[in-house]
Amino acid sequence: MHVFVTGGTGLIGSAVVAELLGNGHTVLALARSDTSALAVEAAGAETLRGGLADLNILRAGAAKAEGVIHLAFANDFSSADAVAQAVAEESAALAALGEELVGSDRPFVTVSGTPRAPGRVSTEADPLPTDGPVGGRGRAVMAVLGLASRGVRSTAVRMPRTVHNEGTGGFAGMLTEIARLHALDAAVLFRLALELAPAGTSWHAVADEGDAVRDIAAVIGRRLGLPVEAVPQETYGPLGPIFATDQPSSSTHTRQALGWEPTHPSLLEDLENIQP
Ligand SMILES: NC(=O)c1ccc[n+]([C@@H]2O[C@H](COP(=O)([O-])OP(=O)(O)OC[C@H]3O[C@@H](n4cnc5c(N)ncnc54)[C@H](OP(=O)(O)O)[C@@H]3O)[C@@H](O)[C@H]2O)c1
Protein backbone atom coordinates (compact mmCIF):
# COMPACT_ATOMS: atom_id res chain seq x y z
CA MET A 1 0.00 0.00 0.00
CA HIS A 2 1.22 3.57 -0.64
CA VAL A 3 0.83 5.25 2.76
CA PHE A 4 0.86 8.97 3.62
CA VAL A 5 2.47 9.38 7.06
CA THR A 6 2.56 12.53 9.21
CA GLY A 7 5.09 12.67 12.05
CA GLY A 8 7.35 10.17 10.29
CA THR A 9 10.48 11.64 11.89
CA GLY A 10 9.21 11.29 15.46
CA LEU A 11 10.03 8.66 18.04
CA ILE A 12 7.02 6.54 17.06
CA GLY A 13 6.68 7.75 13.46
CA SER A 14 10.22 6.81 12.46
CA ALA A 15 9.59 3.29 13.77
CA VAL A 16 6.27 3.18 11.87
CA VAL A 17 7.96 4.27 8.61
CA ALA A 18 10.59 1.54 9.01
CA GLU A 19 7.91 -1.03 9.87
CA LEU A 20 5.87 -0.12 6.76
CA LEU A 21 8.87 -0.14 4.42
CA GLY A 22 10.01 -3.44 5.88
CA ASN A 23 6.64 -5.02 5.15
CA GLY A 24 6.13 -4.20 1.49
CA HIS A 25 4.47 -0.79 1.76
CA THR A 26 5.74 2.50 0.31
CA VAL A 27 5.65 5.76 2.26
CA LEU A 28 4.99 9.40 1.41
CA ALA A 29 6.08 11.32 4.51
CA LEU A 30 5.15 14.88 5.48
CA ALA A 31 8.32 16.87 6.25
CA ARG A 32 8.30 20.45 7.46
CA SER A 33 12.05 21.15 7.30
CA ASP A 34 15.17 20.17 5.38
CA THR A 35 16.33 18.15 8.38
CA SER A 36 13.06 16.22 8.53
CA ALA A 37 13.07 15.68 4.74
CA LEU A 38 16.61 14.28 4.86
CA ALA A 39 15.66 11.97 7.71
CA VAL A 40 12.64 10.45 5.98
CA GLU A 41 14.47 10.17 2.66
CA ALA A 42 17.35 8.39 4.38
CA ALA A 43 14.79 5.98 5.80
CA GLY A 44 13.60 5.22 2.28
CA ALA A 45 10.39 7.29 2.10
CA GLU A 46 9.28 9.86 -0.44
CA THR A 47 8.85 13.38 0.95
CA LEU A 48 5.96 15.82 0.84
CA ARG A 49 7.14 19.21 2.08
CA GLY A 50 4.80 21.01 4.48
CA GLY A 51 3.55 21.29 8.04
CA LEU A 52 0.42 20.27 9.90
CA ALA A 53 -1.07 23.73 9.37
CA ASP A 54 -0.78 23.42 5.56
CA LEU A 55 -4.19 21.88 5.06
CA ASN A 56 -4.03 21.87 1.25
CA ILE A 57 -0.75 19.94 1.38
CA LEU A 58 -2.29 17.43 3.79
CA ARG A 59 -5.24 16.95 1.46
CA ALA A 60 -2.86 16.46 -1.49
CA GLY A 61 -0.88 13.86 0.47
CA ALA A 62 -4.01 11.94 1.40
CA ALA A 63 -5.31 12.13 -2.18
CA LYS A 64 -2.13 10.49 -3.49
CA ALA A 65 -2.14 7.64 -0.95
CA GLU A 66 -3.99 4.37 -0.45
CA GLY A 67 -3.93 4.87 3.31
CA VAL A 68 -2.99 7.50 5.91
CA ILE A 69 -1.26 7.19 9.29
CA HIS A 70 -1.26 10.37 11.38
CA LEU A 71 1.35 10.81 14.13
CA ALA A 72 2.51 14.44 13.94
CA PHE A 73 1.90 16.50 17.03
CA ALA A 74 3.66 19.58 18.37
CA ASN A 75 4.58 18.05 21.70
CA ASP A 76 4.84 21.46 23.40
CA PHE A 77 3.64 21.17 26.99
CA SER A 78 5.39 24.35 28.14
CA SER A 79 2.12 26.17 28.91
CA ALA A 80 -1.63 25.69 28.70
CA ASP A 81 -1.70 28.00 25.65
CA ALA A 82 0.96 25.95 23.86
CA VAL A 83 -0.99 22.75 24.49
CA ALA A 84 -4.23 24.36 23.27
CA GLN A 85 -2.50 25.59 20.11
CA ALA A 86 -1.03 22.15 19.39
CA VAL A 87 -4.41 20.50 19.88
CA ALA A 88 -6.15 23.03 17.61
CA GLU A 89 -3.53 22.57 14.89
CA GLU A 90 -3.86 18.79 15.02
CA SER A 91 -7.67 18.88 15.09
CA ALA A 92 -7.80 20.98 11.91
CA ALA A 93 -5.28 18.65 10.26
CA LEU A 94 -7.30 15.55 11.16
CA ALA A 95 -10.48 17.11 9.82
CA ALA A 96 -8.77 17.99 6.52
CA LEU A 97 -7.26 14.53 6.10
CA GLY A 98 -10.56 12.86 6.96
CA GLU A 99 -12.61 14.95 4.53
CA GLU A 100 -10.21 14.05 1.74
CA LEU A 101 -10.76 10.33 2.42
CA VAL A 102 -14.57 10.39 2.66
CA GLY A 103 -16.17 7.83 0.36
CA SER A 104 -12.87 6.12 -0.48
CA ASP A 105 -12.96 3.17 2.00
CA ARG A 106 -9.25 3.81 2.51
CA PRO A 107 -7.68 3.26 5.96
CA PHE A 108 -7.01 6.27 8.18
CA VAL A 109 -5.10 5.40 11.34
CA THR A 110 -4.72 8.08 13.97
CA VAL A 111 -3.23 8.15 17.44
CA SER A 112 -4.59 8.94 20.87
CA GLY A 113 -3.92 8.18 24.51
CA THR A 114 -5.43 5.30 26.46
CA PRO A 115 -8.51 6.28 28.49
CA ARG A 116 -8.66 6.18 32.28
CA ALA A 117 -11.27 4.00 33.98
CA PRO A 118 -11.39 4.87 37.70
CA GLY A 119 -10.81 1.82 39.89
CA ARG A 120 -10.08 -0.62 37.07
CA VAL A 121 -8.01 -1.32 34.01
CA SER A 122 -9.36 0.49 30.92
CA THR A 123 -10.14 -1.43 27.74
CA GLU A 124 -10.57 -0.70 24.05
CA ALA A 125 -14.34 -0.36 24.69
CA ASP A 126 -13.93 2.60 27.07
CA PRO A 127 -14.55 6.06 25.58
CA LEU A 128 -11.76 8.59 25.22
CA PRO A 129 -11.73 11.51 27.64
CA THR A 130 -12.96 14.69 25.98
CA ASP A 131 -12.20 17.06 28.85
CA GLY A 132 -9.01 18.22 30.56
CA PRO A 133 -5.95 19.85 28.96
CA VAL A 134 -5.88 17.50 25.95
CA GLY A 135 -9.61 16.77 25.77
CA GLY A 136 -9.71 18.39 22.34
CA ARG A 137 -7.53 15.56 21.06
CA GLY A 138 -10.15 13.07 22.21
CA ARG A 139 -12.88 15.01 20.41
CA ALA A 140 -10.84 15.15 17.19
CA VAL A 141 -10.18 11.39 17.33
CA MET A 142 -13.90 10.70 17.94
CA ALA A 143 -14.66 12.74 14.82
CA VAL A 144 -12.17 10.64 12.83
CA LEU A 145 -13.79 7.41 14.08
CA GLY A 146 -17.17 8.86 13.14
CA LEU A 147 -16.02 8.92 9.52
CA ALA A 148 -16.54 5.14 9.52
CA SER A 149 -20.14 5.85 8.53
CA ARG A 150 -18.95 8.02 5.60
CA GLY A 151 -16.74 5.52 3.81
CA VAL A 152 -13.45 5.87 5.69
CA ARG A 153 -11.81 2.83 7.34
CA SER A 154 -10.83 5.01 10.28
CA THR A 155 -9.16 3.56 13.38
CA ALA A 156 -7.33 4.88 16.43
CA VAL A 157 -4.27 3.35 18.06
CA ARG A 158 -4.28 4.41 21.69
CA MET A 159 -0.88 4.80 23.27
CA PRO A 160 0.02 4.61 26.93
CA ARG A 161 1.49 7.76 28.40
CA THR A 162 4.99 6.41 27.93
CA VAL A 163 6.34 4.98 24.71
CA HIS A 164 9.99 4.12 24.92
CA ASN A 165 12.95 3.53 22.63
CA GLU A 166 16.69 4.13 22.70
CA GLY A 167 16.86 6.78 25.35
CA THR A 168 14.26 9.33 24.29
CA GLY A 169 10.57 9.99 24.18
CA GLY A 170 7.38 10.02 26.15
CA PHE A 171 6.60 11.41 29.55
CA ALA A 172 9.14 9.17 31.30
CA GLY A 173 11.66 10.59 28.82
CA MET A 174 10.65 14.12 29.78
CA LEU A 175 11.09 13.25 33.44
CA THR A 176 14.57 11.77 33.06
CA GLU A 177 15.73 12.81 29.59
CA ILE A 178 17.31 9.37 29.34
CA ALA A 179 14.44 6.96 29.83
CA ARG A 180 14.38 4.09 27.37
CA LEU A 181 11.07 3.25 25.86
CA HIS A 182 9.60 1.04 23.16
CA ALA A 183 8.26 2.51 19.93
CA LEU A 184 9.06 -0.61 17.91
CA ASP A 185 6.18 -2.64 19.32
CA ALA A 186 3.84 0.32 18.74
CA ALA A 187 4.97 0.52 15.10
CA VAL A 188 3.83 -3.03 14.42
CA LEU A 189 0.38 -2.22 15.79
CA PHE A 190 0.07 0.86 13.54
CA ARG A 191 0.85 -1.37 10.54
CA LEU A 192 -1.66 -4.03 11.63
CA ALA A 193 -4.36 -1.39 12.14
CA LEU A 194 -3.64 -0.01 8.65
CA GLU A 195 -3.82 -3.44 7.08
CA LEU A 196 -6.59 -5.15 9.06
CA ALA A 197 -8.65 -2.99 11.42
CA PRO A 198 -12.37 -2.55 10.66
CA ALA A 199 -13.76 0.98 10.36
CA GLY A 200 -14.47 2.87 13.57
CA THR A 201 -12.35 0.70 15.87
CA SER A 202 -9.91 1.57 18.65
CA TRP A 203 -6.83 -0.40 19.71
CA HIS A 204 -4.59 -0.39 22.76
CA ALA A 205 -0.83 -0.27 22.17
CA VAL A 206 -0.19 -1.33 25.74
CA ALA A 207 2.54 -3.75 26.76
CA ASP A 208 2.86 -3.00 30.48
CA GLU A 209 -0.69 -3.08 31.81
CA GLY A 210 -0.12 -0.97 34.90
CA ASP A 211 3.17 0.55 36.01
CA ALA A 212 2.41 2.97 38.84
CA VAL A 213 3.96 6.43 38.36
CA ARG A 214 5.53 5.95 41.82
CA ASP A 215 7.26 2.72 40.68
CA ILE A 216 8.61 4.40 37.53
CA ALA A 217 9.98 7.28 39.62
CA ALA A 218 11.51 4.80 42.09
CA VAL A 219 13.58 3.06 39.39
CA ILE A 220 14.67 6.37 37.85
CA GLY A 221 15.65 7.74 41.26
CA ARG A 222 17.59 4.60 42.20
CA ARG A 223 19.46 4.46 38.90
CA LEU A 224 20.36 8.17 39.03
CA GLY A 225 21.08 8.22 42.76
CA LEU A 226 18.38 10.83 43.29
CA PRO A 227 15.87 11.03 46.14
CA VAL A 228 12.27 10.25 45.15
CA GLU A 229 9.76 12.48 46.86
CA ALA A 230 6.24 13.77 46.38
CA VAL A 231 6.02 17.20 44.72
CA PRO A 232 2.98 19.39 43.99
CA GLN A 233 1.23 18.67 40.68
CA GLU A 234 2.05 22.21 39.52
CA THR A 235 5.75 21.24 39.30
CA TYR A 236 4.94 19.66 35.94
CA GLY A 237 2.72 22.46 34.62
CA PRO A 238 -0.18 21.39 32.40
CA LEU A 239 1.00 17.78 32.60
CA GLY A 240 0.80 17.67 36.41
CA PRO A 241 -2.67 16.10 36.64
CA ILE A 242 -1.64 13.47 34.08
CA PHE A 243 1.53 12.50 35.98
CA ALA A 244 -0.45 12.38 39.21
CA THR A 245 -2.87 9.75 37.92
CA ASP A 246 -2.17 6.06 37.50
CA GLN A 247 -3.90 4.92 34.33
CA PRO A 248 -3.69 1.14 33.82
CA SER A 249 -4.96 -0.18 30.49
CA SER A 250 -5.45 -3.58 28.93
CA SER A 251 -4.66 -4.69 25.37
CA THR A 252 -6.24 -8.14 25.57
CA HIS A 253 -8.75 -7.44 22.78
CA THR A 254 -6.08 -5.82 20.56
CA ARG A 255 -3.78 -8.84 20.95
CA GLN A 256 -6.57 -11.32 20.20
CA ALA A 257 -8.21 -9.48 17.30
CA LEU A 258 -5.11 -8.23 15.46
CA GLY A 259 -2.61 -10.88 16.55
CA TRP A 260 -0.32 -8.18 18.01
CA GLU A 261 2.26 -9.30 20.56
CA PRO A 262 4.80 -6.83 21.99
CA THR A 263 8.26 -8.37 22.18
CA HIS A 264 10.50 -5.62 23.54
CA PRO A 265 11.49 -5.07 27.19
CA SER A 266 8.98 -3.55 29.60
CA LEU A 267 9.37 0.03 30.78
CA LEU A 268 10.62 -0.91 34.26
CA GLU A 269 13.14 -3.38 32.76
CA ASP A 270 14.25 -0.76 30.26
CA LEU A 271 14.64 1.92 32.92
CA GLU A 272 17.17 -0.33 34.69
CA ASN A 273 19.51 0.59 31.78
CA ILE A 274 19.67 4.25 32.83
CA GLN A 275 23.28 5.24 33.55
CA PRO A 276 23.97 7.89 36.19
N1 LIG B 1 5.99 9.10 22.96
C2 LIG B 1 5.00 8.85 23.84
O3 LIG B 1 5.22 8.43 24.96
C4 LIG B 1 3.54 9.04 23.43
C5 LIG B 1 2.56 8.60 24.32
C6 LIG B 1 1.22 8.76 23.96
C7 LIG B 1 0.89 9.34 22.77
N8 LIG B 1 1.88 9.80 21.93
C9 LIG B 1 1.47 10.44 20.68
O10 LIG B 1 2.01 9.75 19.57
C11 LIG B 1 2.28 10.69 18.53
C12 LIG B 1 3.71 10.58 18.11
O13 LIG B 1 4.51 10.78 19.26
P14 LIG B 1 6.10 10.82 19.22
O15 LIG B 1 6.57 10.56 20.60
O16 LIG B 1 6.58 10.01 18.08
O17 LIG B 1 6.34 12.38 18.91
P18 LIG B 1 7.70 13.13 18.62
O19 LIG B 1 8.88 12.22 18.72
O20 LIG B 1 7.69 14.40 19.42
O21 LIG B 1 7.55 13.51 17.07
C22 LIG B 1 6.62 14.46 16.65
C23 LIG B 1 6.49 14.37 15.15
O24 LIG B 1 5.53 15.31 14.73
C25 LIG B 1 6.12 16.17 13.75
N26 LIG B 1 5.51 17.48 13.90
C27 LIG B 1 5.31 18.19 15.04
N28 LIG B 1 4.71 19.33 14.77
C29 LIG B 1 4.53 19.36 13.43
C30 LIG B 1 3.97 20.30 12.55
N31 LIG B 1 3.48 21.46 12.99
N32 LIG B 1 3.95 20.02 11.23
C33 LIG B 1 4.47 18.85 10.76
N34 LIG B 1 5.02 17.92 11.55
C35 LIG B 1 5.04 18.19 12.87
C36 LIG B 1 7.59 16.17 14.06
O37 LIG B 1 8.29 16.57 12.90
P38 LIG B 1 9.77 17.27 12.93
O39 LIG B 1 10.76 16.15 12.79
O40 LIG B 1 9.78 18.17 11.77
O41 LIG B 1 9.91 17.97 14.24
C42 LIG B 1 7.79 14.70 14.40
O43 LIG B 1 7.85 13.92 13.22
C44 LIG B 1 1.90 12.06 19.08
O45 LIG B 1 0.57 12.33 18.72
C46 LIG B 1 2.00 11.85 20.57
O47 LIG B 1 1.19 12.76 21.29
C48 LIG B 1 3.19 9.64 22.24
152 falls in which pLDDT band (50, 70, 90)? Answer: very high
Residue 74 CB less than 6 A away from ligand 1 = yes
At residue 164, the pLDDT reads 57
Residue 53 above 90 pLDDT? yes
Per-residue model confidence (pLDDT) at position 228: 74
Going by pLDDT thresholds of 50, 70 and 90, the confidence category of residue 19 is very high
Cβ of residue 164 lying under 6 Å from some atom of ligand 1? no
Count the helices and strands in the chain (H runs, E runs): 11, 7
More confident residue, 162 or 44: 44
Which ligand 1 atom is at minimum distance from the Cα of 163? 3
Does the global pTM surpass 0.75? Answer: yes
- 138 pLDDT higher than 90: yes
Which of 41, 49, 55, 73 is the pocket-test mutation for ligand 1 (most atoms within 8 Å of CB)?
73
Residue 71 near ligand 1, beta carbon < 6 Å: yes
Say how many Å lie between the CA of residue 175 and the centre of ligand 1: 17
pLDDT of residue 179: 26
- Provide the mean pLDDT of the chain: 86
Q: Is the CB of 13 under 6 A from ligand 1?
A: yes
Instruction: Please report the pLDDT score of residue 39 as a whole number.
Output: 97
Of 80, 274, 76, 72, nearest in space to 177 by CA: 274
**231 Cα to the center of ligand 1, angstroms:** 28
Binding site membership of 75 for ligand 1 (Cβ less than 6 Å): yes
Indicate if the pLDDT at residue 24 is higher than 70.
yes
- Closest protein CA for atom 15 of ligand 1: 11
SS (H, E, C) 147-186: HHHHCCEEEEEEECCCCCECCECHHHHHHHCCCCCCHHHH
CB burial readout 23-62, b (16+ within 10 A) else e = eebebbbbbbeeebbebbeebebebbebbbebbebbebbb
Question: Is the per-residue pLDDT at 249 higher than 90?
Answer: no
Least confident among 46-60, 137-151, 157-171, 213-227: 157-171
87 within ligand 1 shell (Cβ under 6 A): no
pLDDT digits (tens, 9 = 90+) for 198-222: 999 999 988 766 666 777 777 777 7
Tell me how many degrees the CA angle 170-189-148 measures, rounded to the nearest 5: 105
pLDDT at 212: 66
Q: What is the pLDDT of residue 190?
A: 97
How much is the pLDDT for 175? 46
What is each CA distance from 12 to 9, 121, 181, 205, in whole angstroms? 8, 24, 10, 12
Please tell me the distance between residue 10's alpha carbon and the centre of ligand 1 in angstroms.
5
pLDDT of residue 172 exceeding 60: no
Query: Does any ligand 1 atom lie closer than 6 A to the CB of residue 73?
Result: yes
Report which ligand 1 atom has the smallest distance to the Cα of 170: 3
Ligand 1 contact via 113 beta carbon (within 6 Å): yes
Comparing 78-82, 93-97, 189-193, 214-218, the range with the smallest average pLDDT is 214-218
How far apart (Å, rounded) are the C-alpha atoms in residues 185 and 192? 11
Q: Are 98 and 67 in contact (CB under 8 A)?
A: no
Average pLDDT over residues 50-71: 98
Atom 5, ligand 1: which residue's CA is nearest? Answer: 161
